[in-house]
Amino acid sequence: MSDSTEITYSTSLGESESGEDIQLVPLHRHNQYTEDCLDMLTAHWKMKRETELLKLQDSVDDFPTSLVLLKYSGDGRINVIGYSRLKTIPFKEQAIWIEKVIINTQHRGKGYGNILMDRTEEYAHKRNFKSAYLSTGFQHNFYTKLGYVLCPSNDPIQAWRTTAPMYQKNWLYPLKQQSSLDD
Ligand SMILES: CC(C)(COP(=O)(O)OP(=O)(O)OC[C@H]1O[C@@H](n2cnc3c(N)ncnc32)[C@H](O)[C@@H]1OP(=O)(O)O)[C@@H](O)C(=O)NCCC(=O)NCCS
């Protein structure tokens, strides 16, 4: 399903703050950002640090894959501003499961969530997945704006993964936001 080549995605924010660059990278190839991801995830979801750390350390090219959204400032600083995790779905080869989508609190409401989802989908698309599933209790407006639709409650993936409402999106490419693929 995947190759061993690193795929990173860069996009200029343009309309947001000129000069900034955003990049989505696999955590296992940039594990210096593990602690920042851990802080962000455990602050929001209140799970045990040790448990979540094991999940972050599980990240591999062949899934599960942890993805980190980095923001490069003009002064050379690099900040972790978002995170998402991809998992395969055992009985649905061409679909990917997206979870733990998060933007750091101080960066919310500025369009980074859209960018994180766009780049996450692009990462999965590049690995030949054709659609994505996710579940959410409270953020359905965020996902439906991005084209996700509510799945029927008898969808087999629902029983496999979650009791929360589940959403699905088939990807139509090319993407709205073009990015350069450096692989
Ligand atoms: C959900 C989350 C990732 C959105 O990130 P964000 O950077 O604030 O989102 P953006 O600024 O890119 O907003 C994208 C769009 O979604 C909308 N949106 C974002 N959060 C929303 C919410 N809670 N309810 C309704 N609309 C929302 C924005 O208005 C915006 O709409 P627009 O494109 O028409 O302008 C962020 O709020 C977050 O990390 N929340 C905590 C973790 C979480 O709940 N994750 C989801 C788990 S299912």
What DSSP assignment string belongs to 38-104?
HHHHHHHH---HHHHHHHHHT--TTSSEEEEEEEE-TTS-EEEEEEEEEEE-TT-TTEEEEEEEEE-
Model confidence, pTM? 0.87
Q: Is 145 helix (H, G, I), strand (E, B) or coil?
A: helix
Minimum CA distance residue for ligand 1 atom 46: 101
**Per-residue pLDDT tens digits for 109-135:** 999 999 999 999 999 999 999 999 999
Q: Is the pLDDT of residue 177 over 90?
A: no
Give the orientation angle of helix 49-57 with respect to helix 34-45, to 10 degrees. Answer: 130
Burial class of residue 9 in the structure, from the number of CB atoms within 10 Å of its CB (0-12 exposed, 13-18 middle, 19+ buried): buried
Please list every protein residue whose CB sits less than 6 Å from any atom of ligand 1.
44, 101-103, 108-114, 136, 139, 141-142, 145
**Per-residue pLDDT tens digits for 36-52:** 999 999 999 999 999 99
What domains lie within the chain, and their CATH numbers?
9-134 (3.40.630.30)
The Å distance, Cα 168 to ligand 1 centre, comes to 17
